[in-house]
Amino acid sequence: MKLLLTIVLLAVISIAGTRITFMNRRLPLGFRSILLTGTEYIFIGLALGGSGLDLLDGETRHQLWPFLIFGLAWIGFLFGLQFEFRQLKKIPHRFLRLSAFQSAMTFAVVSGSMVWYLGCVHPDLGSRIVLVSMMLGAIASCTAQSALAIVSRRLKISKAGALELLRFISSIDGIFAIGLFGLVVLIFPPEEGGWMIQATDPWVWLMHIGIFLVSGLVPALIVVLLTRVRFSQMELILFIVGGVMFAGGLAQELAQAPLIAGFLMGVVFANLSRHRLRVMSLVLKAEKSMYIILLIILGAGWSPRFNMLIIIAGFYFLMRVLGKWTGMFAGMKLWCIEPSLANRMGLGLISDGGFSVALLISFHLLYPGWTDRFVTVIILSVFMGEFLAPGLLMKLFGSGGGVLKRNPHSAGRR
């Protein structure tokens, strides 16, 4: 009965949420970024979960696991669909290099600093500190576009090129984040309980890599083969839903991340099939609802404890900002991309967003139990990022970076 009620509630909230979220409302900029960008659903989940009404209790969340697996694979698949290599080749290489560089720099800064910091505050983790630090580094390396979207709607930016660069980097750095995440899972297989893989035999490594790839490759090939002959829209829905379910379930069985399996499936499909755009428009329709439900489930499982974790979250956030800033500064200087803005552009990539939440959920599913505390760290960091990002962007484009004019068509105008 509880499961039934929860499903109804989730369905109603997700349907209503897709209509309310991203609407223009008169709110201060920081709050505008937290509320109505999706982050509020974590609070809704918190209210429904064990810390609140207890509708979404542990048992109910466990029963919703199959849907969680499917949702993660769906999001990963959608993300992967964007990476058609033919289109990527048209992008100037220096932009790609810049994006990779800032991602790698953020990963390095955050991982390195967290190894030291967690070693001081959480020595009980032992050698798992390396796993956690690398995971946090991977999650930190991606960026969301929510703050960019809000600021560009409100304000007429004269440095459009800089804004476009930020948009490009934030849309593409997720691929590096997911790649780093996958690398960490490979080095610290979940079936080893979060300990580093001990194998010295290269065949063991190859087998692990093979299993890692199979979870996305095989479903992709099946769906590509099925879509080779003429098919109707109904059949396409069946292929995609069945394929994503298969990928997610396969990943779960092979102790891999459904998000990565879905991503690999998306990349393979995007590059082997002629129907990328058609599939993408279909998959996009359910994207918002999926994210909302994942955020609610995450919030429901969150037990906020505001102790040392606030400090860890603050430290993590600062290191993330430092990593982004350093990465963009060094990269822009190195490849001579808008060098006059190099000392500020990193501030435009602070927003975390939905993808980092998806990575967080994947992390938590793969290494359950002892990773609960880091859920709080990431969630708090996401809040901080969403709250501060628009203000930092204003500073970026305000002080000498371009003439800032209020957009006369913005709904936020008083």
Partner 1 sequence: MSLFLLAGAFMAVMHLGQGTRDGNLSPTLILGFLLLGAYCVGFLTWRLGFPWITGYIIAGLLMGPHVFGWIPLNALNDLRFLNSLALAFIAFSAGGELRLNCIRDRFKSILFLTTGVALVVFLGVSMTIYFLTPHLLFSQGWNPATRLLVSAIFGVIAVARSPSSTIAIICETRAKGSYTDTSLSVTVATDVLIIMLFAVVVSIGETALFQGKALRFGFFFQLLLEIGSAFLLGFLLAKAIVFLIRNLKVEFPVVIAGMGFLVIKFSHLLGEYLQEAYRIGLDLEPLLICMAAGFTVQNFSKHGEQFLAEMESVSLPIYVSFFAFTGATIDLKTLESAWLLGLVLVVSRAILMFVGANVSGRLAGDDRRIYANVWMAFITQAGVSLGLLTEVVRRFPEFGLEIQSILISAITINQVIGPVLFKMGLKRVGEIPKM
Instruction: Name which of residues 194 to 233 contact partner 1 (CB under 8 A).
Output: 211, 214, 218-219, 221-222, 225-226, 233
Options 11, 27, 206, 411; binder of partner 1; rule CB under 8 A: 11
Please report how close the Cβ of residue 135 comes to partner 1 at its closest, in angstroms. Answer: 20
- Of the candidates 76, 70, 74, 66, the one whose C-alpha atom is nearest the C-alpha of residue 260 is 76
307, containing H or E segment: none
Options 9, 108, 115, 254; binder of partner 1; rule CB under 8 A: 254
Q: Rounded to an integer, what is the distance from CA 178 to the centroid of its chain?
A: 8
Cβ(355)–Cβ(138) below 8 Å? no
Which one, 28 or 58, has the nearer CB to partner 1?
A: 58
Q: Which two tokens stand for residue 60?
A: 């109910």
How far CA 286 is from CA of 14, 289, 293, in Å, comes to 10, 5, 11
Which one, 124 or 253, has the nearer CB to partner 1?
A: 253
Q: Which two tokens stand for residue 306?
A: 């505001």
Options 203, 234, 336, 409; binder of partner 1; rule CB under 8 A: 234
Which one, 24 or 63, has the nearer CB to partner 1?
A: 63
Which one, 230 or 409, has the nearer CB to partner 1?
A: 230
Instruction: Name which of residues 51 to 70 contact partner 1 (CB under 8 A).
Output: 62, 65-66, 69-70
Options 49, 76, 243, 299; binder of partner 1; rule CB under 8 A: 243
110, containing H or E segment: helix 93-121
By the rule CB under 8 A, 348 interacts with partner 1: no
Instruction: Name which of residues 12 to 51 contact partner 1 (CB under 8 A).
Output: 15
**What is the C-alpha R_g of the chain?**
21
By the rule CB under 8 A, 235 interacts with partner 1: yes
Query: How far is 398 from 170, CA to CA, in rounded Å?
Result: 20
Query: How far is 173 from 154, CA to CA, in rounded Å?
Result: 25
Apex 294 CA angle, 291 and 298, nearest 5 = 135
Please report how close the Cβ of residue 186 comes to partner 1 at its closest, in angstroms. Answer: 16
Instruction: Name which of residues 269 to 298 contact partner 1 (CB under 8 A).
Output: 285-286, 289
Which one, 134 or 261, has the nearer CB to partner 1?
A: 261
Which residue shows structure tokens 């599913």?
Answer: 365
Q: Which two tokens stand for residue 307?
A: 């102790």
Options 30, 52, 119, 242; binder of partner 1; rule CB under 8 A: 242
Task: Classify residue 390 as exposed, middle or buried by CB count within 10 Å of its CB (0-12, 13-18, 19+).
Answer: buried
Please report how close the Cβ of residue 48 comes to partner 1 at its closest, in angstroms. Answer: 18
How far CA 273 is from CA of 175, 226, 368, in Å, comes to 20, 10, 36
Question: Per-residue x/- mask for partner 1, residues 73 to 92, rule CB under 8 A?
Answer: x-------------------
Please report how close the Cβ of residue 224 comes to partner 1 at its closest, in angstroms. Answer: 9
Which one, 164 or 192, has the nearer CB to partner 1?
A: 192
Which one, 141 or 371, has the nearer CB to partner 1?
A: 371
Please report how close the Cβ of residue 234 comes to partner 1 at its closest, in angstroms. Answer: 4
Which one, 243 or 327, has the nearer CB to partner 1?
A: 243
Cβ(356)–Cβ(146) below 8 Å? no
List all residues 6 or more positions away from 271 whose beta carbon is below 8 Å from its beta carbon: 83, 84, 85, 86
Which one, 104 or 251, has the nearer CB to partner 1?
A: 251
Backbone angles phi, psi at 406, to 5 degrees: -70, 135
Residue 312 identity (one-letter amino acid)? I
- Sequence-distant contacts of 197-203: CB under 8 A, at least 24 apart: none
Which residue shows structure tokens 């509880």?
Answer: 2
Please report how close the Cβ of residue 398 comes to partner 1 at its closest, in angstroms. Answer: 39
By the rule CB under 8 A, 241 interacts with partner 1: yes
Three-state DSSP state, 55: coil
By the rule CB under 8 A, 124 interacts with partner 1: no
Which one, 36 or 250, has the nearer CB to partner 1?
A: 250
Query: How far is 305 from 307, CA to CA, in rounded Å?
Result: 6
Please report how close the Cβ of residue 255 comes to partner 1 at its closest, in angstroms. Answer: 5
Residue 165 identity (one-letter amino acid)? L
Total interface residues for partner 1 by CB under 8 A: 44
Please report how close the Cβ of residue 137 comes to partner 1 at its closest, in angstroms. Answer: 26
What residue ranges bind partner 1 (CB under 8 A)? 1, 4, 7-8, 11, 15, 62, 65-66, 69-70, 73, 191, 211, 214, 218-219, 221-222, 225-226, 233-235, 237-239, 241-250, 252-255, 285-286, 289
